[in-house]
């Protein structure tokens, strides 16, 4: 590609685009062609400081704006997202590689959190007790933390930022977003639309960068909370470093989600559901379903035959191809990583039923495409089973009983999501109660909760005690202040005696 055609992504600080000042840049690829389409600046400490100071300047006035007026900004932001949906989806697909229809879903799921944030006046209401003691009332209020930050991954460059900043800003905080440097343009566009919706300059800042920027945010004394989504190792690092510096931290990590198929399941529907959940977005979802656990040999053999036939119908194409089921993965390095895990599975003794390596799309030989792969006879001891592959690879782990099937996700180090496919309500209820996983689907292959509930896994899928969005998000981005008030009767003379014991209301 001609270097003159390579655009430069910018930071968004204090309500305006800011060119990078560090002299360091990363490449933004077009995954469909393999070519560099943009350069993204990698912030230094001084640029993080500029964003923090911008947020500190804006936050007090924004917090003093009553919740109803903050909600009106959210309503206007929601309207602008809908108006610009096609533009945002095409931009997202051009950098991530997911098909445009999937990009619209990415944006829509974020928009639904914005819809939740439109109801922030109700969510911020405190509690009140009249007459808790003689002439004493007690009430509580939720107040914003101040300046907060979010660090988001490449796989959902619209949804996950909106999960974070939608609730945080509605609560009265100022927000600094450090998005993935692989697909940075949509987050900047979201910040522009937030300003257009009426948010004051500095309430939402976007700063691009790598570990230097991440560490600067986590350790900055003015940043009160860090929300993170990414790999488990980095989530653990963010959590520990943030906690050491006195931050409130929620850090969502990796996943290895299982789909359990009982013998009584609607197998044709389960195959369709699992195909979409395993291969949609090229498997680059933390809620993808990369492991299927058929219960019983008959169920396993039938599933294998039907899934093999289903895979043959899948269309891999460029992100703008309306007939494609999924597009390229995000980078050449990630493509190589996925293919190395396929080879690992072979080396470990799993049976490779369908091999997606070496897939090439005519006219796009340099694109980052990986075909769908299917393994059978995978065992829990295999590293390819234990690790998150994050690609279009489906692994079959056979189980003889429901007990064995429940144990697989329960004993795995990740505990993000799980699904069970069955017509038996009692079995499904028992499974949901016992499985050691944070989000459960019953005949639902990707159990991402709706925006007014909350998202979060268990074990190495999440570090911290508070989940994303919903009321958990409100709790994370606010702190409770409780007031105990006594108003002596007007004109009452004299004073009570001093008391040296803890006061009670009895």
Q: Which residue, chain included where needed, has tokens 């998005």?
A: 179
Q: How far is CA 316 from CA 284, 349, 392, 408, 427, in A?
A: 14, 27, 11, 31, 36
Question: Which pairing describes strands 16-18 and 25-30: parallel, antiparallel, or unpaired?
Answer: unpaired
Closest CA to 123 of 504, 476, 482, 490: 476
* Residue 392 DSSP code: S
Question: Left if phi > 0, otherwise alpha if psi is -120 to 50, otherwise beta: which for 52?
Answer: alpha
Please tell me which residue in 123, 223, 252, 286 is annotated as part of the active site.
Answer: 286
Question: Which pairing describes strands 478-486 and 204-206: parallel, antiparallel, or unpaired?
Answer: unpaired
Check if 171 is active-site.
no
Q: How far apart are CA 409 and CA 255, in angstroms?
A: 10
| 150: phi then psi, degrees, rounded to nearest 5 | -130, 140
Q: Which residue, chain included where needed, has tokens 């009895």?
A: 506
Q: Which residues, 6 or more positions from 190, have their beta carbon under 8 angstroms from its beta carbon? A: 88, 158, 161, 162, 204, 206
Q: How far apart are CA 119 and CA 451, in angstroms?
A: 12
SS3 159: helix
Closest CA to 277 of 268, 267, 269, 287: 287
Closest CA to 90 of 78, 79, 99, 80: 99
Q: Looking at the DSSP assignment, which residues form a beta bridge with residue 13?
A: 16
Q: Looking at the DSSP assignment, which residues form a beta bridge with residue 459?
A: 414
Strands (DSSP E) along 312-369, which ranges?
351-354
Q: Which residue, chain included where needed, has tokens 């660090």?
A: 151
Q: How far apart are CA 165 and CA 467, in angstroms?
A: 14
Q: Which residues, 6 or more positions from 225, have their beta carbon under 8 angstroms from its beta carbon? A: 145, 148, 149, 247, 248, 249, 250, 476, 477
Q: How many CB atoms lie within 10 A of CB 313?
A: 8
SS (H, E, C) 1-40: CCHHHCEECCEEECCEEECCCCCCEEEEEECCCCEEEEEE
User: H-helix or E-strand containing 447?
Assistant: none
SS (H, E, C) 259-302: EEECCCCCHHHHHHHHHHHHHHHHHCCCCCCCEEEEECHHHHHH
C-alpha dihedral sign at 373, 374, 380, 382: negative
Q: Please give the positions annotated as active site.
A: 286
């Amino acid at each position: 590609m001609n270097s003159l055609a390579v655009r430069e992504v910018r930071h968004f600080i204090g309500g305006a685009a800011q060119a990078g000042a560090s002299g360091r840049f990363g490449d933004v690829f077009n995954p469909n062609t393999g070519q560099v389409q943009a350069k993204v600046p990698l912030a230094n400490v001084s640029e993080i400081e500029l964003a923090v100071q911008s947020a500190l300047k804006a936050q007090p006035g924004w917090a003093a704006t009553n919740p109803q007026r903050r909600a009106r900004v959210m309503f206007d932001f929601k309207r602008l997202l809908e108006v610009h949906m096609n533009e945002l989806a095409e931009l997202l697909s051009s950098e991530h590689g997911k098909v445009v229809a999937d990009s619209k879903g990415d944006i829509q799921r974020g928009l639904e959190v914005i819809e939740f944030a439109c109801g922030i006046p109700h969510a911020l209401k405190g509690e009140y007790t009249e007459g808790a003691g003689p002439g004493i009332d007690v009430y509580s209020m939720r107040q914003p933390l101040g300046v907060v930050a979010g660090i988001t991954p490449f796989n959902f460059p619209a949804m996950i930022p909106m999960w974070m900043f939608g609730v945080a800003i509605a609560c009265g905080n100022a927000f600094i977003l450090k998005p993935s440097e692989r697909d940075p343009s949509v987050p900047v566009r979201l910040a522009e639309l937030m300003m257009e919706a009426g948010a004051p300059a500095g309430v939402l800042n976007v700063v691009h960068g790598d570990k230097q920027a991440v560490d600067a945010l986590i350790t900055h004394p003015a940043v009160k909370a860090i929300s993170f989504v990414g790999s488990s190792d980095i989530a653990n690092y963010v959590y520990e470093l943030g906690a050491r510096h006195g931050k409130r931290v929620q850090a969502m990590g990796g996943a290895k989600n299982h789909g359990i198929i009982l013998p009584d399941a609607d197998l044709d529907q389960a195959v369709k559901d699992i195909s979409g959940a395993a291969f949609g977005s090229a498997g680059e979802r933390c809620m993808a379903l990369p492991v299927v656990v058929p219960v019983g040999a008959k169920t396993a053999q039938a599933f294998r035959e039907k899934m093999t036939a289903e895979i043959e119908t899948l269309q891999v194409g460029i992100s703008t191809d309306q007939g494609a089921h999924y597009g390229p993965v995000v980078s050449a390095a990630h493509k190589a990583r996925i293919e190395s895990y396929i080879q690992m599975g072979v080396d470990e003794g799993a049976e490779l039923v369908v091999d997606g390596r070496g897939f090439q799309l005519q006219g796009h030989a340099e694109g980052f495409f990986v075909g769908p792969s299917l393994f059978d006879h995978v065992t829990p001891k295999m590293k390819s089973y234990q690790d998150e592959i994050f690609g279009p690879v489906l692994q079959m782990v056979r189980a003889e009983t429901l007990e064995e099937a429940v144990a697989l996700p329960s004993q795995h180090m990740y505990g993000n999501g799980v699904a069970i496919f069955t017509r038996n309500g009692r079995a499904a209820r028992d499974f949901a109660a016992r499985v050691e996983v944070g989000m459960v689907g019953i005949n639902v292959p990707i159990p991402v909760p709706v925006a007014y509930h909350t998202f979060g896994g268990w074990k190495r899928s999440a570090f911290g005690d508070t989940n994303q969005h919903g009321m958990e998000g409100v709790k994370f981005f606010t702190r409770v202040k409780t007031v105990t008030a006594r108003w002596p009767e007007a004109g009452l003379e004299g004073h009570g005696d001093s008391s040296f014991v803890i006061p009670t209301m009895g």
